[in-house]
Every structure is written in C-alpha cells, then in structure tokens.
C-alpha cells in the first residue's frame, strides 16, 4: 500500500463500527493460509465459505486486526465491523488507488487478456524498469482479485496493468470504478461465458463498461478487427479513442497496424506501424492472433509516450505465458503446443489455426469447453468440424461435451474419460515430425496430458 490506513479513517469514510483501535496497517490478506504477521485479515463470506471461521487462526498467525461482517467477541484484536466485507475490500482498495499518482491501464476481452497484460508489462518494464510496473498476478481479475491487486500499489510504482474479467453484467463497471483506469483496452468478444451472459451482445455490453468508466482524459483502445468495434466506439464519446488492427485493408480507425506479417522460427515477424512510422518486431511466441495482442499492448504503450523502437524491444523480450501456446518437447521428440490454461470457442479455433502453421502430422487433444449454456452441444460439434476442415489428422477428446466434437470430426477421432489413457493412446502416433495441440477449459485439467506427453515427463 502507498501509506498506512487506520480503522478510524476507514470508519469515517465508509461507516461501520470500530472495536478497539488500530493506528495503521499497510498490508491486508483474505487468505488465512498465507503469512499474516503484521497484516490485517479480511474475512470474506460466500455461498460455500466463510472467512470468519478462520479469524482465530489469523490472530494466532500474527494478524494485527480484523475486517469482519460478524463481530468476533472472543478474539482480542481491533476489528472494523461492516455490512459486507467484499464491499469493504473494494473500499480499502479504492483509497489506495486514490493515493496513486501513476497511470492505470485496464484490459478486458474474452481472449488474450493475460497475454496482453504480460506483453504490456514487458514493454513498460523495458522502458521504465521492472520495479516501476505492477501487473495483475495470475487471474486475479474479478471483484476480489482486482481490489487485491490495487492494494499492492506502492509509492515506487509508476504504472499498474490491471486485468478485468467478468461473469455477469456490472462486474467490470464495479471493478473499473475501483481501478479508475487512465487507459482501457478492449480486445474482443469470442463467445466465452455465453452461458452466464446469454448472448454475445450482452458480452460486448459488459466489455463496454470499461470504456464508460474512462474520464475525459482517459483513452479507449479498441480492436478494430472485432465485430463489435463500432459499438464500442459509440461508447467512447466521453474520452479519447484509438484503435488497432491486423485485418485486411486495415480499417481507417486502426491507427496502430501490423504489416508484412511472416512466420519466423516459432514466432512471428512484422512491421509495427503508427501513423507514418514503423519498426520491425520479432515475437518469440507462436500464433497469428498474438500479433493482434502485440498491437493492443503497443497501442497502450504509445499512449504512455513509449517509442516504437522501445515497444518492439519490449515485445521481443516477451517469452509467453505458462499454459498459453507454449511449445515443449514431447515423447519421441514430437512438439507439444501447451495451450491448456483455458478455452473458449474462439480461442480453440485460433489455436487450431496456429497448429496448422506448423508442418508435419497434426494432432488435436481437446477437453471440454465450459460455460457455453444451451449452445454447448452445437458449439463442441462445430469445433470438431472446424478441426477436420483445417486439416487436423487426428482428434483426441476428453470429457463429456467433446464427444460431440469427436462425432462431427468423424474418422480418426477418439474419445476418452481418463487423462492418462488418452495420453498413452496418443503416444503411438508420435514421431519427430508430429505437432500436438493440447487445449481445454481450466476445469478439464488438460495440463495432466501435457505432463504425460512431455519428454522427459514434466514435473510440478
């Protein structure tokens, strides 16, 4: 945190009741399993958990105060008692954000958030030093993770790169209200979380909440290749606006473009263009859609005054994200594309496109894609058809819904309900010239298959 906060200050600003006196704290935790010495413990409550059960444990581990919604009479610690600790977490984070004098960049979209966040972090760290940049850790992108990220802001930071996800309308509005971004990057709509939102229009509306949160001096960065680009542009009347694109013809609204895109080694080379300037970039990661991700990061960096050359150098330092299109050596010297971190229909198609950029025999290992609602069966069937049309030779599926992918793929499709049995079956097809893509929603734990196929088997 940027400075110490007291319970009295929190009560004066946000209400609630104080029991005992805590003159100040600079660290807060919500997980009693983490070190708590000298920290305040905030007890979150949900449908399946109640952090109040761990308040005594928190004291025993050295916590100096409690933020609770149920007063803990048997625990001799200062307590700030509020109606909702989840809201209180956001309020404390907002206070820390108000003290921050640097720039906040928020990123949202169905696909690519984490990659763009890490790319931009690489660029800003190269330009200004890694100690000056805070980025969201892991997937801390919801109404709990965003406040926890904001609480990590310190006086040394000049930039904060915040990832915003959403499982319902209003979540990005709430999180952006806490983060108060100076730049908002909107990447795409791909159909992820369709089950929660009901339609892609609602997903686009949710992503647009980030644009509406920007002030007059803020800047919206919009992917002009996305079908909802014009809708998002219509929301940006209250802020500045810039766009990027790799699509054919480059829409005139795309100020930041990629030209002369070529596959080079296991990555992509292209010219990064902004107005009348250009600079060559060599990405060290596969997948054409990572060129678009790089443009998103570049667009934000340009708004912060970073030069094209420095952006290009920062992008070239980016080596990828664990479980996101990572290439590892597999059994019999095959190549494994580990894209097991998560999946939605759009990202599966993009990953298949990446698979087909490689020469040799192509094998797709696909786990269930979750959160697709009533359209789940047809969505999975369409992925099987897409793989067949693109030229994938063998499809191995895992889960329940991917039975429909195997069925639509036809011959040379094999369905399994056990990770290791699937991996053993795949091994018989592997040669030095085989490329295997492993993809699936996080809930399917497809990293187990990656581990089993790695040579030597990877370790945790």
Contact yes or no for 246/260 (Cβ under 8 A)? no
Q: Residue 362 pLDDT > 90, yes or no?
A: yes
Whether 23 has a pLDDT exceeding 80, the answer reads yes
Provide the pLDDT confidence category of residue 138 given band limits of 50, 70 and 90: confident
Residue 51's alpha-carbon distances to 58, 85, 142, 306, in angstroms, are 10, 10, 18, 43
Reported confidence tier of residue 198, pLDDT bands at 50, 70, 90: confident
pLDDT at 250 over 70: no
pLDDT band at 459 (very low <50, low <70, confident <90, very high): very low
Tally of CB atoms within 10 A around 277: 10
Mean pLDDT value of segment 1-29: 97
Average pLDDT over the chain reads 95
pLDDT-based confidence at residue 121 (cuts at 50, 70, 90): very high
pLDDT (average), residues 34-38: 95
What pLDDT, on the 0 to 100 scale, is given for residue 192?
A: 63
Reported confidence tier of residue 251, pLDDT bands at 50, 70, 90: low
The rounded distance, in Å, linking the Cα atoms of 218 and 303 is: 10
The torsion defined by the Cα of 250, 252, 257 and 262, in degrees rounded to 10, comes to 10
Query: What pLDDT sits at residue 458?
Result: 54
Q: Give the dihedral of Cα atoms 162, 167, 170, 175; nearest 10 deg.
A: -20
Which CATH number, 3.20.20.70, 3.10.20.600, 3.40.1190.10, 3.90.1200.10, labels domain 100-317? 3.40.1190.10
**pLDDT, average across residues 94-123:** 97
Q: How far apart are the first and last CA of the chain?
A: 32
Residue 82 has pLDDT above 50, yes or no: yes
Where are the domains positioned within the chain?
7-88, 100-317, 326-453
- Give the pLDDT score at 389: 98
In this structure, which topology does domain 7-88 adopt according to CATH? Answer: 3.40.1390
Confidence of residue 196 (pLDDT cuts 50, 70, 90): confident
Average pLDDT estimate for 195-213: 93
DSSP-derived letter for residue 275 is: T
Interval 388-423: pLDDT, tens: 999 999 999 999 999 999 999 999 999 999 999 999
SS3 category, 147? helix
What the block records as the tokens of 52 is: 């109040």
Q: Could you tell me the fold of the domain covering 326-453?
A: 3.90.190
Q: Which two tokens stand for residue 174?
A: 């709430």
d(C-alpha 325, C-alpha 161), whole Å = 22
Using pLDDT thresholds of 50, 70 and 90, give the confidence band for residue 41.
very high
């Amino acid at each position: 945190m940027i400075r110490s906060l007291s319970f009295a200050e929190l009560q004066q600003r946000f209400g609630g009741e104080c029991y005992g006196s805590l003159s100040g704290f600079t660290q807060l935790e919500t997980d009693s399993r983490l070190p708590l010495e000298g920290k305040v413990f905030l007890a979150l409550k949900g449908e399946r958990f109640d952090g109040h059960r761990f308040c005594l444990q928190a004291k025993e581990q050295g916590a100096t105060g409690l933020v609770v919604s149920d007063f803990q009479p048997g625990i001799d610690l200062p307590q700030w008692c509020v109606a909702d600790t989840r809201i209180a977490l956001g309020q404390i984070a907002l206070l820390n954000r108000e003290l921050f004098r640097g720039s906040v960049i928020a990123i949202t979209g169905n696909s690519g958030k984490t990659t763009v966040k890490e790319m931009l972090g690489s660029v800003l760290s190269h330009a200004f030093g890694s100690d000056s940049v805070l980025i969201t850790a892991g997937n801390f992108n919801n109404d709990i993770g965003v406040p926890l990220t904001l609480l990590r802001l310190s006086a040394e930071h000049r930039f904060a790169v915040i990832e915003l996800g959403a499982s319902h309308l209003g979540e990005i509005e709430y999180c952006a209200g806490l983060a108060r971004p100076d730049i908002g990057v909107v990447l795409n709509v791909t159909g992820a979380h369709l089950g929660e939102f009901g339609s892609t229009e609602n997903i686009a509306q949710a992503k647009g909440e980030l644009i509406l949160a920007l002030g007059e001096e803020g800047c919206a960065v919009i992917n002009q290749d996305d079908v909802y680009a014009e809708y998002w542009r219509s929301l940006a009347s209250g802020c500045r606006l810039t766009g990027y694109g790799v699509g054919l013809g480059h829409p005139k609204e795309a100020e930041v473009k990629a030209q002369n895109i070529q596959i080079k080694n296991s990555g992509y080379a292209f010219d990064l263009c902004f107005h009348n300037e250009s600079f060559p970039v060599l990405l060290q990661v596969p997948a054409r859609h990572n060129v678009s991700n790089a443009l998103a990061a570049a667009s934000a960096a340009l708004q912060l005054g970073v030069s094209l050359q420095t952006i290009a150098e920062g992008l070239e330092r980016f080596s990828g994200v664990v479980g996101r299109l990572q290439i590892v050596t597999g059994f019999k010297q095959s190549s494994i594309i580990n894209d097991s971190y998560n999946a939605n229909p759009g990202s599966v198609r993009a990953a298949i496109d990446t698979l087909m950029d490689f020469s040799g025999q192509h094998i797709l290992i696909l786990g269930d894609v979750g959160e697709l609602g009533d359209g789940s069966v047809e969505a999975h069937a369409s992925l099987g058809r897409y793989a067949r049309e693109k030229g994938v030779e063998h499809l191995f599926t895992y889960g329940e819904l991917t039975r429909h992918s195997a069925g639509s793929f036809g011959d040379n499709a094999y369905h399994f309900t056990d990770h290791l049995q699937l991996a053993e079956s795949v091994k018989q097809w592997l040669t030095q010239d085989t490329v295997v893509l492993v993809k699936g929603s996080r809930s399917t734990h497809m990293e187990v298959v990656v581990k089993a196929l790695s040579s030597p088997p990877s370790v945790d």
